[in-house]
Amino acid sequence: MNAKVISIYAADTSGVCSALYELGGMTVVHDASGCNSTYATHDEPRWYDRKSMIYISALTEAEAVMGNDSKFIRDVAKAAGELSPKFIAICGSPMPAMTGFDYSSAAEEIERETGLTTFFVDTNGTHSYLQGAEGAFLSIAKLFCSEGKEKQANSVNIIGATPLDFSVNTSVSSIKKWLLDNSFSVQSCFAMDSSLDEISTAPQAAVSLVISSDGIAAAKYLFDTYGVPYVVGVPVGKSFSKKLSADLKRAASEGVCINSCGEKAVENAHMIVAGESVFASSLGAELGAKTVATVGIRNSEVLSGTDIFCEEEAELEKLFSQHKTVIADPLFRPICKEASFVSLPHVAFSGRCFLKDIPDLIDKDVSKILNL
């Protein structure tokens, strides 16, 4: 995103850390000392309440120039020996990307030395959190999921749950409650309030519910490898949540994948919802509004024909001026000068600034909560 006035989204390294935070592994970002505070301070609301093994390699200028890869490998292996994590994940920042650090070989060497499953997620600190979380979720699915017991009827994998998209309010627990209220059970949740052991049973689920675009790759892998179909959408509002429930039941019974949030009628063309594509499209479907995906990758599977992908500040400002109502994170307000602005904070964009103002919209009257 090219931004002069508005904020930018959390980086891919933050996406990796957020996705793996609760799974008992050790995540190491190859970056300069002190950069861990960027993630901890801005992008991780669980930091002070829940421990996790997330570290920075403390890369120095001399090491970056001279390429002292052995020190990185040695330090990670030593820390793993002291902490006994369930796995090791490594990811990178701009400097190692510029010097051509070989993450794949480093991961192989660390795994040989420690005997622990070690993988790298391809990041360089310049992409959005969605790319990082996507790689992390996919790696977990590939490395830890295996076909075992029989499929569990009406069981659901929730894929794409991170505080970057859903905060630490009651949204994720509300999704689980909504599933239970609609005669489903929760098989696993990638990756909030679910253990690595629970996630390893994901192939036993009847269907997966993808609640963020960073979960689509893992959902596709589970479908292609284990035949677990998936449905894309977040159960926001009363009307759309009913449609999503019906689509989950259809996907489970027929073995088909459904993009629920991409099937919508735009009844309120004067209104536009901006944000992560799956959540924004789901809210747009509930309100009959247009959607503009402002982060991630251009994903035609999620966006409908009336939706827009736009990451450029100048273009967004022009787009907002063409609508009467804009629903977006408060930090978009400075470029929304003509339309009526409805605040809907997004941790991945504004960090902790509006954490207490993030509503739980799951299976609730959205218009009433947002004062539309």
Lowest mean pLDDT among 45-54, 76-85, 138-147, 158-167: 45-54
Handedness of CA 28, 31, 33, 37 (dihedral sign): negative
pLDDT of residue 300: 60
- In terms of Cβ atoms closer than 10 Å to its own Cβ (0-12, 13-18, 19+), residue 22 is buried
According to the model, what pLDDT value does residue 2 have? Answer: 66
Alpha-carbon radius of gyration of the chain:
20
Q: What pLDDT shows up at residue 188?
A: 97
Highest mean pLDDT among 47-61, 65-79, 119-133: 119-133
User: Contact 128/15 with Cβ under 8 angstroms?
Assistant: yes
In terms of Cα–Cα distance, which of 227, 234, 187 is closest to 362?
A: 234
Higher pLDDT, 63 or 119: 119
| Residue with tokens 């596709």, as numbered in its chain | 220
Q: Is the pLDDT of residue 98 over 90?
A: no
Q: Considering only 72-86, 176-190, 253-267, which range has the smallest mean pLDDT?
A: 253-267
Q: What percent of the chain has pLDDT over 90?
A: 69
Mean pLDDT of 317-343: 93
Structure tokens at 361: 């919209």
Residue 303 pLDDT exceeds 90: no
User: How far is it, in rounded angstroms, from Cα 275 to Cα 265?
Assistant: 19
| Structural domains of the chain, with CATH | 12-143 (3.40.50.1980), 146-261 (3.40.50.1980), 264-369 (3.40.50)
Confidence of residue 186 (pLDDT cuts 50, 70, 90): very high
Which range has highest mean pLDDT (114-118, 307-311, 368-372)? 114-118
Instruction: Answer whether residue 258 shows pLDDT above 80.
Output: yes
Round to whole Å and give the CA distance between 164 and 302: 19
> How high is the mean pLDDT of the chain?
91
pLDDT at 366 over 70: yes
Average pLDDT over residues 204-222: 97
pLDDT at 290 over 90: no
pLDDT tens track for 233-254: 999 999 999 999 999 999 999 9
Give the global pTM: 0.94
* Average confidence (pLDDT) over 44-57: 90
Share of the chain above pLDDT 70, in %: 95
DSSP states along 192-229: SS--HHHHTTGGG-SEEEE-SGGGHHHHHHHHHHH---
d(CA 331, CA 343): 9
Contacts with 175 (C-beta within 8 Å, 6 or more apart), sequence order: 158, 161, 209, 211, 234, 235, 362
More confident residue, 296 or 166: 166
Handedness of CA 133, 137, 140, 143 (dihedral sign): negative
Once rounded to an integer, what is the mean pLDDT over residues 206-228? 97
CA separation for the pair 247, 263 (Å, rounded): 11
Which range of 153-162, 301-310, 333-342 scores highest in mean pLDDT? It is: 153-162
* 185 band by pLDDT with thresholds 50, 70 and 90: very high
67: tokens are: 């390429």
How is residue 121 written in tokens? 């997620």
Average the pLDDT over each of 26-30, 180-184, 281-285, 290-294 and give the range with the smallest value.
290-294
From 40-44, 163-167, 240-244, 324-328, the region with the lowest mean pLDDT:
40-44
- Average pLDDT of 183-187? 96
- Bridge partners, 128 (sequence order): 11
Q: For 185, list phi and psi in degrees, rounded to 5.
A: -125, 160
As a whole number, mean pLDDT of residues 80-102 equals 89
In three-state secondary structure terms, 246 is helix
Q: How far apart are CA 351 and CA 41, in angstroms?
A: 8
Kindly tell me if the per-residue pLDDT of 330 is higher than 70: yes
Mean pLDDT calculated for residue range 179-185: 97
Residues 107-134: tens digit of each pLDDT: 999 999 999 999 999 998 889 999 999 9
Contact 229, 223 (CB under 8 A): yes
Name residue 113's amino acid.
E
Helix (H, G, I), strand (E, B) or coil at 121: strand
- According to the model, what pLDDT value does residue 297 have? 64
Q: What is the rounded distance in angstroms from the CA atom of residue 294 to the CA atom of residue 8?
A: 10
The whole-number pLDDT of residue 60 equals 76
